[in-house]
Amino acid sequence: MMTNLVHFSGGRSGPWRIVDMAAVRGEGLARAERLAVSATADGPGCWTLRGVVGHARYATRRELDGLAARQAPLGRGEAVCAALIPIRKSQAWWDLAQDERRAIFEETSHHTAIGAAYLPAVARRLHHGRDLGEPFDFLTWFEFAPDDATAFDALVAALRATPEWDYVEREVDIRLVWE
Ligand code: HEM
């Protein structure tokens, strides 16, 4: 059994209430009321997206240490807001070599540098779905307090304006509250 496999199931059950769903780029997802996040598929939902929490591909030792020193864990009591942003990148992205992707990701787009400014307010976890044959390459998950929701919107807007996002061909933005 794959222990680091995570299922995000949209439907009528689950502790997270979906407050907004937007198709940012490409095809959206069927509207659902609630979301369950679990190690096993959560029964018949509208849709289930799967991803594996894996090792970092691009971050350097220095970047990883910098993030580790600042980042907060998931599941904080005050972080009752969340975002699930599934993303698929284009074939042109996957045709690049590792060093070319890293250069676009950080040296050109400053993804980690931009994101680091929002720690520890925003807690995050990245899941990979591409090698599972999933419709999204990445399931990005974030948790934050209501007071930090505006800052989170600014973060997302800043990242979407970077050259890295030229390679995003499908993106859905799902916002949730724990209630
Ligand atoms: C990957 C940091 C916010 C989307 C990464 C990686 C880091 C990172 C270090 C690379 C992991 C690796 O080495 O493989 C951060 C920080 C954030 C943040 C500190 C602040 C909260 C976001 C947001 C989004 C996002 C808001 C979506 C709107 C992604 C995606 C990847 C990624 C799609 C995978 C990129 C790829 O492998 O091609 N992030 N990020 N991140 N992040 Fe973020």
Q: Which atom of ligand 1 is nearest to the CA of 89?
A: 38
In this prediction the ipTM stands at 0.99
Interior/surface letters 131-153, b for 16+ CB within 10 angstroms, e for the rest: eeebbbbbbbbbbbbeebeeebe
Tell me how far CA of residue 74 lies from CA of 20, 25, 143, in angstroms. 21, 27, 7
Below-70 pLDDT ranges, the chain? 1-2, 42-44
Q: Which atom of ligand 1 is nearest to the CA of 112?
A: 2
Q: Where are the beta strands (DSSP E) in 26-122?
A: 34-38, 47-52, 81-89
Distance, in Å, from the CA atom of 20 to the CA atom of 152, rounded to the nearest integer, reads: 15
Distance, in Å, from the CA atom of 168 to the CA atom of 162, rounded to the nearest integer, reads: 11
21-33 pLDDT, tens digit each = 999 999 999 999 9
The CA 111 to ligand 1 mean position distance, Å, reads 7
Q: What is the model's pLDDT at position 3?
A: 74
Q: What is the model's pLDDT at position 43?
A: 67
Distance, in Å, from the CA atom of 137 to the CA atom of 131, rounded to the nearest integer, reads: 8
Instruction: Name the helix (H) or strand (E) containing 97.
Output: none
**Which residue's alpha carbon is nearest to atom 17 within ligand 1?**
115
**111, 136, 167, 175: residue to mutate for ligand 1 pocket, most atoms within 8 A of CB:** 111
**Strand-strand pairing, 34-38 and 5-11:** antiparallel
Q: Which atom of ligand 1 is nearest to the CA of 123?
A: 21
**CA angle at 15 for the pair 12 and 18, rounded to the nearest 5°:** 60
**140, 141, 165, 174: residue to mutate for ligand 1 pocket, most atoms within 8 A of CB:** 140
Structural domains of the chain ordered from first start: 54-178 (3.30.70.3420)
Q: What is the model's pLDDT at position 54?
A: 84
Which residues sit with their C-beta closer than 6 Å to ligand 1? 56-59, 67, 85, 87, 89, 111-112, 115-116, 118-119, 122, 124, 126, 138, 140, 155-156, 159
